[in-house]
Amino acid sequence: MTEKQIRDYQRAQCIALRRAGMSYRAIAEDADVSRASLQRSLERYDETGGFQDRSRSGRPKKLNDCNIRMLKHLVQDDANRSSSGELMLKL
């Protein structure tokens, strides 16, 4: 079961409708989202005071900032050399 994500402007509208006294079910039908998603979003708003999604963990980066700078420097310095093997030896 996939649930639609509620956009920031929808969350703001839903909060206003909830404060106006509408039920979760009526708001969910109007916004075309599940009641559970709506309820979680409004509870999160009550806790945090914001509309934004929580940050997601995601996959860690393979290169850190220092490695990225070094790689850019090597590529720019060795623009005349196109051999990837030579670049790999320097890394």
Contact 34, 49 (CB under 8 A): no
Residue 16: which pLDDT band, with cuts at 50, 70 and 90?
A: very high
Segment 50-91, tens digit of pLDDT: 877 777 788 888 889 999 999 888 888 766 665 666 656 666
**Domain-embedded: residue 89:** yes
E strand or H helix that includes residue 73 = helix 65-77
Per-residue pLDDT at 69? 92
SS3 call for 76: helix
Segment 22-34, tens digit of pLDDT: 999 999 999 888 9
**Domain-embedded: residue 54:** no
* Pair 41, 73 in one domain: no
Angle between helices 35-48 and 24-31 (to 10 degrees): 110
* Pair 15, 42 in one domain: yes
Concatenated DSSP letters of 35-69: HHHHHHHHHHHHHHS--SPPPP--PPPSS-HHHHH
Per-residue pLDDT at 35? 92
**Domain-embedded: residue 1:** no
What domain range includes position 67? 61-91
**Domain-embedded: residue 88:** yes
How many domains are there within the chain?
2
- Check: pTM over 0.85? Answer yes or no: no
Decide which of 4 and 75 is more confident.
75
